[in-house]
Amino acid sequence: MSTRNATDVFSEWALIDRDEGMESGHAKSVNEMLNIVIPMLKKPFSAIDVGCGNGWVCRKLQAYENCSKVVGIDGSSEMIAKAKQKGTGEFHLSTLPGWKPSQKFDLIHSMEFLYYLKEPLEMLKILFNEWLEDRGVLIAGVDHYLENIASHDWPKSLNVHMTTLSEEQWKQGMINAGFIDVETRRVGIKSGFVGTLAIFGRKP
């Protein structure tokens, strides 16, 4: 049986409100990621959330007084419909990597999106070259990675493609894309969960 498109699966999830479970499940990791990255940004800053789901991180970013603009992009029609219902931000429906924003951003944020791509490290290069302002920062969180053994059966159980990379491969991918000050950290650690791998770095 061929694998399903992740965006179709997540549209089904949105229709049965499983986006809300992701929102609460990912909140601890995202809060820690934002605590890392917000102090690294110039003021005011613009931001984009890549694979934004129902737009909850965009709404969180909008609440920062120094945030001048927030955009969300996702390939699931039902997720984007929900994002538009729930908030006032700018949301785009498109499958990546086949879309590019009309401006560059000071912050690129992404939670639980990159590994659904066949070539996530190529996407890092595109984000670096075409989406990020000079001195801007990218932070991406992934729960499916080589060191998180509990995540290894997710592609099979969801019947969706996932690219499984190690912490070192993500880090090297960031460096190869051109990022400086690249770091990885485990965030959102809780009982029975080794944590989200947060990967971040700056454009010179």
Ligand X SMILES: C[S@@+](CC[C@H](N)C(=O)[O-])C[C@H]1O[C@@H](n2cnc3c(N)ncnc32)[C@H](O)[C@@H]1O
Kindly list the residues in this chain that would bind ligand X in the complex (CB under 6 A).
6-7, 10, 22-23, 26, 51-53, 74-76, 79, 95-96, 111-113, 116-117
CB of 134 to ligand X, least distance (A): 25
Residue with smaller CB distance to ligand X, 3 or 175? 3
- Least distance to ligand X from the beta carbon of 71, Å? 13
C-alpha 78/C-alpha 177 separation (Å) is: 32
Q: Which is nearer to ligand X, 150 or 180 (CB)?
A: 150
β-bridge partners, 197:
142, 186
What is the spatial distance between Cα 126 and Cα 138, in angstroms, rounded to a whole number? Answer: 12
Tell me the sheet residues that pair with 198: 141, 185
CB of 16 or CB of 175, closer to ligand X: 16
**Which residue, 46 or 76, has its beta carbon nearer to ligand X?**
76
Distance CA 126, CA 128 (A): 5
Q: Are strands 196-202 and 180-187 parallel, antiparallel or unpaired?
A: antiparallel
- Determine the Cα–Cα distance for residues 70 and 57; give it in Å rounded to an integer: 10
